[in-house]
Structures are given as structure tokens and as C-alpha cells.
Amino acid sequence: MTKALRNAITVSGMVTIGAAHVPAQTSRLVLTVDVANYAEIQRPTLASAEREASRSYAAIGIEVQWLYPAPTDLGRADATVLLLTREMGGRKIAREQLGEAVLGQAHKPSARAHIYWHRVQATADRYALAQSDVLGYAVAHELGHLLLPEYSHAPTGIMRAGFDPDNSLGLRFTELQGAQLRKRLKPR
């Protein structure tokens, strides 16, 4: 970019993008997420789910970087998402006696979000929704649990308890949750 062009689009610390004005940033907030795809979800479905989950975080000024390390390298990112097979998920669900509507579970001490792929599929099929949309919702919601304070369910938004096909997709974090999430991440 030429100096003249850079000067033309930067005015008083604001970057003009079309008609919108966005505060200029010298650093950015990035959430790195390791993904362990044990369920072997097809790449197009997974990519679409990542875009859906990323939108929820982008709306509050956080960029999500999705990483696919070797299994021995998991845990180096800010959070890890484990996409579990029916067998893996079934054992965990039975052991923890989880209700039938639970699509995922966050474990704060290990910074791991467990997503029960067979339940995501069943929920998507039950409500005639795209599996990637329901997966994106579940991932964004469980990552929220990892980063927000304990008992972070809210009456509205993406952190609402329970999946509601009429009110869960495309949801965002509340203003307070956005501030809490931004505070948890270090600028990069």
C-alpha cells in the first residue's frame, strides 16, 4: 500500500472501510484453538462450522485461528476442541450422566471442549438444519464456557442454556460476555 493511499484511508485513528468506521488497531485479539477431529468430520462440514463459530467471536473483536496439530501436540493453543465419535462420546456421556440434549461439554482445568458429534448430527437431522451450523453453534458455545466465568449461561445469546432451533443459530455474545472474553485474551 502506498503512503498516499494509507493516509487517505486513515483519519484520526479510524480506518474507513466502505461506509463503516472501525477503530484502528495496532494489535489484535486472537483465540487459538487446537482441533482433534476424532469423529472424522468431512473437511467442508468442518470448515463451514469453523466459519459459523468464528462469526460469533469476530462480532466481539476476536479472531479465531483453527489449528490441526498431531495428537501428541494437542494442548499448546488457548483451547482444544475434541470432536468425539459416537463411541467416545457415549462413554463420556454415560460416565457423567449427561442429559439427552447436551451437545458438548467444557472442561475448564484442561481447556478442552468435548463435542458429541453424533448428538450434533441427530439435532441437525431432527430440526432439518445443516450439521455445520449446529456444530458451529456447539463449538462457539463450549469455547465460551472455557473462557467465561463459571456458570456462564445467559437468558439470551449464544450462551443460552440448551439448543433452541428457532433461537440458537447466528446468535452472538452479549456485550458483557464480549468484554469478559476480550479481557481473557492477550493482544498479539
Each residue's pLDDT tens digit, 20-66: 333 455 579 999 999 999 999 999 999 999 999 999 999 999 999 99
* pLDDT value of residue 26: 57
In single-letter form, the type of residue at position 1 comes to M
Q: In this structure, how many other beta carbons lie within 10 angstroms of the beta carbon of residue 40? A: 10
Please tell me the distance from the alpha carbon of residue 124 to that of residue 17, in angstroms, as a whole number. 36
Please tell me the distance from the alpha carbon of residue 80 to that of residue 78, in angstroms, as a whole number. 7
In single-letter form, the type of residue at position 159 comes to M
Residue 77 grid coordinates: 493453543
* pLDDT value of residue 24: 52
Please tell me the distance from the alpha carbon of residue 145 to that of residue 159, in angstroms, as a whole number. 8
| All domains of the chain in start order, with CATH | 27-184 (3.40.390.10)
Cα distance from N-terminal residue to C-terminal residue, the chain = 22
Please write down the HEC assignment for all residues of 6-17.
HHHHEECCEEEE
* pTM recorded for the entire structure: 0.84
